[in-house]
Amino acid sequence: RQMCIRDRSMSGPERILRDEEVREIESIANGDSIDFEAMLECLGGIMSRGMADGRFTEKQVQHDMEFALWVAYTCNNIDDYEHYCTTVDWLSRVEDLSSNCGTWFYRYGVALMYTGKPRKAFDYFARGVEEEPMYTPNWAMLARMRSHYGDRKGALAAARKGLEIHEDDPEFLEIIDDIENSRTLEQTEFRIFDGERYVTPGDDIVHEFLTNDDDDVRSRAESVMGIFTDSANPVSYTHLTLPTIR
């Protein structure tokens, strides 16, 4: 779901992250299994050291696009409600820097969607394809959101646009199949738990997901439920920040 870790063109004297720090972060991201909790701890350590050394202030790091995109990449891949809230918090601070950055619109839209704001997410995915048309994740999400809000023709057009850019991409082929078979957003989101069985939030098995002993399954189910009702997670995580930063 979360590709394009960072924009490698980011450079210059005002850049927060040093090259060696980016390599440190990327070393965690390399490999078949990524420890996103460790990556978040790494980002927190870089932030703490940089502030202690006087390289930058908290205000400066919180208004740095590259750093914010790393936080969003990490938190969105941890894939639970509280970390999606963290993404919203960090990316909202750099919205004024988001021009032509499809990655920002995608990560922000995904986080909004999983924190109970699908309509707002829809708007950002639509803006994302305008800001950076060749960045296909926004076309994928735009297709799903158009379908969710009843625009089947527009949804198919968005999915086919994605296929124009990435021919035979299996994600867009799946999206088109979902649209043509009238599968709901709820059904496609819960598919991750149950293969080809398309469950909905009201099914008994969803309660099993939400009360599962496996923390990963339970957290994922809560984030999916967060699309449709923010009350699935009554505790507010709006002010959650990186480790060691309070």
d(CA 116, CA 238): 13
> Which pLDDT band, with edges at 50, 70 and 90, does 79 fall under?
confident
Residue environment code for 210-238, b if the CB has 16+ CB neighbours within 10 A, otherwise e: beeeeeebbbbbbbbbbbbeeebbeeebe
Q: What is the mean pLDDT of the chain?
A: 83
Query: For residue range 176-202, what is the model confidence (pLDDT) as tens digits?
Result: 999 999 988 888 887 766 555 566 656
d(CA 232, CA 7): 34
pLDDT at 27 over 50: yes
d(CA 192, CA 38): 24
Q: What is the pLDDT of residue 174?
A: 93
- 59 vs 236, higher pLDDT: 59
d(CA 147, CA 221): 22
* CA-wise closest residue to 98 among 119, 80, 72, 136: 72
Q: What is the pLDDT of residue 41?
A: 96
Q: What is the pLDDT of residue 80?
A: 86
